[in-house]
Structures are given as structure tokens and as C-alpha cells.
Amino acid sequence: MLTISDLAPETIKELLNDADAFANGKISKAKSEIFVSNLFYENSTRTKTSFDIAERKLGLQVVPFDVSTSSVNKGESLYDTVKTLEALGVNLVVIRHFQDAYYKELESIDLPVINGGDGKGSHPTQTVLDLLTIYQEFGKFEGLKIGIVGDVKHSRVANSNAEALRKLGAKVYFSGPSEWFDEGAIINGTFVALDDLVKEVDVLILLRIQHERHGEKMQISLGKYHKKYGLTKEREKAMKPEAIIMHPAPINRGVEIDSDLVECERSRIFKAMENGVFARMAILKHALESKGFEFE
């Protein structure tokens, strides 16, 4: 599972059903000894930890891999690293890497690779958990209006989510600083002013400012950003009664969202994290079953 484009809508729905079953308490354990490893070349709490927990819940053996003490420091390439883990008996790897589409150099390797985020590319497992959270809320995607706000240019979440949501029948709108849009990337996306957007959408997805990917210094102060492009208490009040708020986190509190709204009634921010474990269990199981491994 490398990008969300790889998945047909039927496969996405199957994953959502499996994930929802896990959310409702279903237990599934590997029938044989399976070794997996999580290769995170970028910092992560949520994605890495939720894979770690999902793997343990499925009864998999998690082999630690720490980039900072690996032979990556002796100049070993990603290809040779993954090929090595395969030779050592690892059955699946999860990779987060700062390079867009890093997985292309791994094409000749037979080992299943789950993409935990590639540069500014995609973040398909985040999309599945976001979809699950929306699906649990509304029971459908057709006709839903989804707003994605903020640092679209540097966000792999924006790209993956927009693509999947459209594929499943939702309408996707964007807002935020216009200079952070990359026209090529957001095909068919409609730009809407934030104050209009908040009144219309069923789901408002706020994106983190990716400070670490902004080469140039930001042209706007964080306080100003919050007033112009953040979810303030005023804007939250303008939202439809049943509309929900999401954010892939980590959150810059008081910037993308007023700190008091992070745990407000319509926030599904922590709910989505919870779903992250169930979504990844479904994805891991799916990938391993496709290689002949069995679960009970």
C-alpha cells in the first residue's frame, strides 16, 4: 500500500469495514510467527506508535529499527536496507521517508511495504483513518462537503484525502493562504474563502503548518495566521450543527485551531487517532493476507 491511488473504492470500503470491526472489539491474531519492522526516517508519534500498537494487537513480532543507529549512517541506501531486512526474515515493513515516492526504488523487492508517509507525497494510512472517522459519523461519503484548510502545498494528508474523498463521492473544497497552493497537485479542487467555507461543510479538516518543510521564513505571524486562516471560536460557531472538526496532528494550538476547540464537542481529533490503530490493523492484515499469512 503505497498511495491511495493504488486502492479501488471497493478495497477502501473493505478496509473501512474491517477497521470498524476492530473498533467494535473484534480480535484477530496471526496464526504464525510474523516479523515486521517500522522504518521511520522522519519524526512521528502518532503514526509510528499506532503501527506499533496495531502490530502487537495482531500478534506480530515488531523488530526495532532506529535510523539514527543503523548503517544508514555508513551511507547504506534505502534499497539495501530494506533488502537486508528481507534477507533477515522480516515479512513486512512500514516506511516513512522524507523523499517523495521513495518506494519507487524498492519496486524490485518482493517484501510488502506500507507507506507511512513520503515527503510531500501521500500518507495513505492517515487517509483510511480519516475516512473511517467520517464514515462512522455520517455512514456515507456521497454528497458530503469536506473542507481542507491550510498548508495544502506541503501536506501529504491533503493530497491523499482529497483524492480518496472524491473517489468515494464527496465534494472537496480548499482554503488557506493562496500562496500555499500548488495548482498541479489539486486538480478539480475549488478554493473557497474560509468564512464562507465553515458554514457549508460537514467536515472541516485543518492542516498543520509544516514549519519544517517551509524553506523560506513564513511571511505571516502565527497570530495573524490564526485570525485569517485558523479555526477561531467565532468561525466554529458558524459551523453547521452536525459538522465535525478534524486535524491530523500534531496541532499548533492557537494557530490552526483555537486551543479550547481541540477537545470541543464537534472535534474528532482524538477520535481519529483512536481509529488510526484500527485502520492500521486492517491495512496490515490485508497486506499480510495477500502474501498468504493467516489470521484467526
Q: How many whole angstroms separate alpha carbon 116 and alpha carbon 94?
A: 6
CB closer to its own copies out of 126 and 163: 126
Subset of residues 192 to 221 that bind its own copies, contact rule: CB under 8 A = 208, 211-212
Per-residue contact string for residues 31-60; x = within reach of its own copies by CB under 8 A = --x-x-x--x--xxxx-xxx-xx--xx---
Residues contacting its own copies: total by CB under 8 A: 55
Interaction of residue 250 with its own copies, rule CB under 8 A: yes
Please count the residues of the chain: 296
Angle (deg, nearest 10), helices 269-289 and 46-57: 50
In the chain, which ranges are E strands? Answer: 35-40, 61-63, 92-97, 113-118, 145-149, 171-175, 190-191, 203-206, 244-246
Q: Tell me: does residue 116 bind its own copies (CB under 8 A).
A: no
Rg (CA), the chain: 19
Asked if residues 156 and 120 have their Cβ atoms less than 8 Å apart, the reply is yes
Residue 24 interacts with its own copies (CB under 8 A): yes or no: no
| Annotated binding residue 61 | no
Q: Does 252 bind its own copies (CB under 8 A)?
A: yes
| Residues numbered 277-296 forming contacts with its own copies, rule: CB under 8 A | 277
C-alpha cell at 166: 472524491
Which residues of the shown chain bind its own copies in the complex (CB under 8 A)? 33, 35, 37, 40, 43-46, 48-50, 52-53, 56-57, 61, 63-77, 80-81, 83-90, 208, 211-212, 249-253, 270-271, 273-274, 276-277
